[in-house]
Every structure is written in C-alpha cells, then in structure tokens.
C-alpha cells in the first residue's frame, strides 16, 4: 500500500485507537429478559396440524377413468338470441320503399322516351323508319289523352318539322302524377314528426 503523501492533512489521517483510552469496547446487544415471546404467525395450539389428503381424486369424479384424469368434454354455449319482434310494420315499410324505387325507375325511362320523341319530331325524323315507328307507337299510347289539347306547330318547306305540344304537356302531367304518388307513399310510412321532403 503506498504511503500517505499528505501525512499532516487531518482528512487523510488514520484513526488512532490509543487516542480515546477511556471508551469501553463495543459489545453486541444481548437478550432482553422482559421481552415477551411472540408465537410464530399462523400457529394456533388449539387446532391440530394440517394433514395432507390421502385421496388424490374423489370417488365418482366425472373426469376420471381408470385412475387417470381426462379433459372435460367441450360444451358449446349458444349465443344469446333476442326473441324476434313483430316484423309486420318493418316489412310494410320495405315494400312501400321498393315500390317507390320501381316507380321512380319507370317514370325516368318514360320521360326519357318522351324527350326523344319530342326531339325526333322537332328535327323532322322520317316517320317510316322502324325505330321511329316503334318509338311513336309506344309513346303514343301514353300521350293519347293529350293529343289535340294544343295545336302542334309545323314549319319547314314540307312541314316535316313539328313542335309537338302534346309531348311536353304529357311529360309535365306524368311528372306531376309521379311526384304526388311518391310523397303520398312516403307519408304512409314516415312518422308524424318526420318531414316527407
């Protein structure tokens, strides 16, 4: 061990046991005669000591065969199913809603055919053309109540260009009927506080 380079420094001086000759030597604390003796935790002299069970598995165990344990059978638990409610009003709402969809599809197709008829009449399409004949005959069935309600305007040298007012009036009337029918059906399935628009 290297010598102390600073022998006069009090911080680095070793303690001298002869410096305090009157101090008694330190002794370990001995037993205390007045201290009570506490029993070990969990010990009760009034109860007999715990005995290990001698039977490994109880008799009649449903999961023991031939002295060997077996896994219990898997029991599937059915999920909770709520009792079905009355589906009558819900089915009625669905039927009416689908009816509105079908009517909307039909009126859009019909209005498109009316518009095509009006355009062909306006540009003077050949009425003997097969496509024009089929279109005129089909749309004429729906426009029959409006023929002659307003005289049609004819122009050009051969009067082949026709401004057909009956087609425009038919488009307006069928669109109005569809609007009334649609919102009437929606009123039957909507709640009183719900708007129908």
| Boundaries of every domain in the chain | 88-189
pLDDT-based confidence at residue 189 (cuts at 50, 70, 90) = confident
Return the higher-pLDDT residue of 32 and 128. Answer: 128
Residue 56 has pLDDT above 60, yes or no: no
Residue 125 has pLDDT above 90, yes or no: no
Which of these, 134, 143, 138, lies nearest to 172 by C-alpha position?
Answer: 143
Return the higher-pLDDT residue of 95 and 73. Answer: 95
Rounded mean pLDDT, 131-160:
86
The residue behind tokens 């079908």 is: 102
Return the higher-pLDDT residue of 172 and 85. Answer: 172
Residue 135 has pLDDT above 90, yes or no: yes
Provide the phi-psi class of 42: left if phi over 0, else alpha when psi is between -120 and 50, else beta.
Answer: left
User: Which pTM does this prediction carry?
Assistant: 0.50
Q: Which of 63-72, 79-88, 91-100 has the highest mean pLDDT?
A: 91-100
Rounded mean pLDDT, 38-45:
62
Q: How far apart, in Å, are the Cα atoms of 185 and each of 96, 107, 142, 168?
A: 7, 15, 23, 26
Residue 97 has pLDDT above 70, yes or no: yes
Q: How far is Cα 135 from Cα 28, in angstroms, rounded to an integer?
A: 122
CB 103 within 8 A of CB 181: yes
- Residue 7: what pLDDT? 62
Return the higher-pLDDT residue of 46 and 102. Answer: 102
């Amino acid at each position: 061990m290297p010598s102390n380079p600073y022998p006069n420094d009090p911080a680095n001086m070793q303690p001298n046991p002869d410096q305090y000759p009157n101090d008694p030597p330190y002794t370990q604390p001995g037993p205390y005669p007045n201290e009570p003796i506490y029993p070990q935790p969990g010990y009760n002299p009034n109860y007999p000591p715990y005995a290990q069970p001698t039977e490994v598995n109880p008799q009649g165990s449903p999961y023991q065969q031939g002295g060997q344990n077996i896994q219990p059978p898997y029991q599937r638990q059915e999920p909770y199913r709520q009792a079905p409610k009355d589906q009558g009003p819900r089915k009625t709402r669905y039927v009416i809603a689908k009816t509105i969809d079908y009517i909307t599809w039909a009126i859009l197709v019909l209005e498109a055919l009316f518009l095509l008829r009006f355009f062909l009449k306006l540009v003077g399409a050949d009425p003997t053309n097969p496509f024009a004949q089929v279109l005129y005959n089909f749309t004429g069935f729906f426009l029959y109540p409006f023929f002659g309600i307003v005289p049609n305007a004819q122009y050009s040298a051969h009067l082949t260009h026709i401004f057909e007012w009956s087609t425009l009036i038919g488009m307006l009337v069928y669109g109005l009927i569809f609007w009334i029918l649609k919102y009437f059906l929606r009123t039957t399935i909507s709640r009183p506080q719900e708007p129908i628009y």
